Amino acid sequence: MYALKVLDVNATDSEIQGVLNASYAMFDIMGIYQHHDAVTGTAKQYVADDYTLRMVRAKTANVD
């Protein structure tokens, strides 16, 4: 998405920054999801719920 936004001649700097911020958020949550508790499914329920909440927040980050 970042490359497509950068190639878009009508994209503003704030739009490009928004896509980049969303990308950082997704990379961050993917690092958390690769934690051994998430991979094996041995996390406590409240921890698994937190993983899910973080993923939802990252996926719905404002990309304007």
The confidence score (pLDDT) of residue 46 equals 93
Rounded average pLDDT per 10-residue block, the chain, 64 residues:
77 84 82 83 90 83 54
Helices of type H across 1-64: 2-7, 13-33, 36-40, 45-59
The confidence score (pLDDT) of residue 49 equals 92
CA quadruple 20, 23, 27, 30: dihedral, nearest 10: 170
Terminal CA-CA length for the chain:
12
Domains of the chain are 2-59 (1.20.1270)
Residues whose CB falls within 8 Å of the CB of residue 6, separated by 6 or more in sequence, listed in order: 16
Q: Supply the Cα-derived Rg of the chain in whole angstroms.
A: 15
